Amino acid sequence: MTSYNFKKMNRKSNGYTLIEVLVATALIGFALLGTGFLIAFGIQSVEGSNRVTVATGLVQQGLDTMKGNRIEAYRMMGPNTTRTVSCAVPDVLTNNPFQQRRVWDCNMHQQIPGAVSTWAIVDGVAQITIDWSQNRGGESGNDEERRRITMEIQL
């Protein structure tokens, strides 16, 4: 069995002081905190980009519907009507423009909650706008940014 003589040990030869450990812990903590903020910002950017992509696809789909049925397109105009109504639609879709618009509105609300759309036709040009707010993650929770996608097509 080995025995140690604690009186002869050099106090500076092994280990770290408490101050060194605290400074290292603080530096690592700040680095991890910064990394966490970067990850959160990246996730919000991806979600925002996803909503823009979804909105662009929905607008294009709506314009295609209007162009495919030019006579009935005038009956599809106006703001969306399904804000809080259940979006249960029948399995068999009809050529009814109101039914097509309702299905489109339901898809929009499922994919972009809180969005508002407007369909218009001016001088033979169909226009669809989707408007929504996107939380940017401020401390107060009220740091919102308004987003809008508008596209047009000649009927």
Question: How many Cβ atoms are within 10 Å of 152's Cβ, its own excluded?
Answer: 15
pTM for the structure as a whole: 0.65
| Range from 24-38, 58-72, 102-116, 125-139 carrying the lowest mean pLDDT | 125-139
Q: Nearest to residue 128, comparing CAs of 138, 136, 120, 137?
A: 120
Question: What is the separation of C-alpha 51 from the centre of its chain, rounded to a whole number of angstroms?
Answer: 5
Q: What percent of the chain has pLDDT over 90?
A: 18
35 pLDDT higher than 90: yes
Band (pLDDT 50/70/90 cuts) for residue 3 is low
As a whole number of angstroms, the distance between CA 3 and CA 145 comes to 70
As a whole number of angstroms, the distance between CA 132 and CA 89 comes to 24
Residue 1 or residue 45, greater confidence: 45
Tell me the pLDDT tens digit for each residue of 93-114. 566 777 778 888 888 888 888 8
Residue 122 or residue 72, greater confidence: 122
In the chain, domain spans: 18-154
Band (pLDDT 50/70/90 cuts) for residue 1 is low
Would you state the pLDDT for residue 8?
56
DSSP assignment of 82-150 equals: -SSS-----SS--S-HHHHHHHHHHHHHHHSTT-EEEEEEETTEEEEEEEEEEE---TTS--EEEEEEE
And the tokens for 111? Answer: 């994919």
Q: Are 147 and 153 in contact (CB under 8 A)?
A: no
140 pLDDT higher than 50: no
What mean pLDDT is predicted for residues 42-63? 88
